[in-house]
Structure 1
Amino acid sequence: MVIISEELPVHSEICFCPLHGLLDTISKKWALMIIAVIGNHGSAGFNELKRYLCNISSKTLSNTLKDLEEAGLISRQVVDQTPPVVRYYLTVPGWELRELLIPLLTWVMRNGGHADEGCPIHVHCEMPEK
């Protein structure tokens, strides 16, 4: 049974066309978790991400990082040292997406969702200054 509250706004139409492509990228199994981990720490290296995302394979992590970079949600930077180190950072759109996830996650928690032990998404993180 669906109950419609008079307080809720009524939307007769919505276009999902702008979601094609980007939604495919962020709906992949690990994409939002990668965004969460990078956002929580300000940056992360490949092996750090593997540690935080215990069950992800190297190939899946590599492919997902490439997809997120192509979508403009993360940036890959090589640190000039010996041996060279690669760090991943959220871009401005990546930070914006992360912030938009917080109300969605809050809604999910209120409606039967639960946090797993060691969940890498924390609400009280701010975008670092560059």
Structure 2
Amino acid sequence: MNKPAATGGNICLCPLFGLLDVVAKKWAFLIIAILGNEGAKGFNELKNEPGRISPKTLSETLKNLERIGLVDRKILTTSPPTTQYSLTGDGQELREHLIPLLLRVSERGAQDLPGCPVRMRKEQ
């Protein structure tokens, strides 16, 4: 990821607009967490993850994450062809930055849902 331009001790926050349009959506963080924890996954594997995301929403979310360089899509030469998704280096880096944010929220009183289906591992 490019470093934000800093002038006079200030950091321009304009890049947040493009990033938040995609990443702040409910399913984007879930996909980043799953791919970061479990590695590459196929479309149907992601579709069947906790939360049961609709195929249309999953497809749109993956396209957006791929467009901004957080997810890599690879078409495998199987019969029939299958698509596999994984985090890019930037996606992995973003995931690593999310962990302290989640820890901070937890320390401030956020509660885990009973039977939380997805957890981010702190270490890799």
Q: Which residue of 2 aligns with 1:119?
A: 117
Shift of 1:113: 1.2
Q: What is the percentage of aligned positions where both structures have the same residue?
A: 49
> Hey, what does 2:35 align to over in structure 1?
38
Alignment of 1:1-130 (within 5 A): 14-116=11-113, 117-126=115-124
Bigger strand share:
2
Q: Which residues of structure 1 form unaligned runs of 5+?
A: 1-11
Pairs aligned (count):
115
CA distance 1:111–1:43, change in 2 (3 Å): same
TM-score of the superposition, structure 1-length normalised?
A: 0.81
* Gap regions ≥5 residues in structure 2: 1-8
Q: Select between 60-69 and 115-124 the one with higher mean Cα deviation.
A: 115-124
**3-state SS of the aligned residue for 1:30?**
helix
Q: TM-score, normalised by structure 2?
A: 0.84
Q: After the TM superposition, which of the residue ranges 107-116 and 84-93 deviates more from structure 2?
A: 107-116
Q: Could you tell me whether the CA contact under 8 Å between 1:25 and 1:68 is conserved in 2?
A: yes
Tell me by how many angstroms 1:124 deviates: 4.0
Q: CA deviation at 1:68?
A: 0.3
Give the CA deviation at 1:50.
Answer: 1.4
